[in-house]
Amino acid sequence: MSVRVPWRAMCFERGLAVQWMLRRRGYDAKLVYGARLGEEAGLDAHVWVTLEDRILIGGEQASSFRSLATHPEWSR
C-alpha cells in the first residue's frame, strides 16, 4: 500500500505503522534503528521491525546496517 498513498512512505513510516499495528494486537514487535557509513551521503539510516528475533519488514537491507537502538527498549 505504501506505493499508493499520497505521502512519503519510507522505512521509518512503514516501520512505525507495522509496529503500532502489531503492538496494538498484543505482539511484542520492536522497531530497530540502524546506521552505516554511506558511499555518497556520509551516513545512511534504516529502520526495520522485529518480532521474536525475526525481521518482519526492512530485512532486505538490515544486514548492512549496525543496530543503534530499539523501541521499546525492553519487552512487555
pLDDT, tens only, 21-63: 999 999 999 999 999 998 776 888 999 999 998 999 999 989 9
Instruction: Give pLDDT, residue 1.
Output: 46
Model-wide pTM > 0.85:
no
What sections of the chain are H helices per DSSP?
11-24, 59-62
The torsion of the CA quartet 16, 21, 26, 30, rounded to 10 degrees, works out to -20
Q: Please, is 13 exposed, middle or buried when counting C-beta atoms within 10 Å of its C-beta (0-12, 13-18, 19+)?
A: middle
Instruction: Give pLDDT, residue 27.
Output: 95
Is it the case that residue 5 has pLDDT exceeding 80?
no
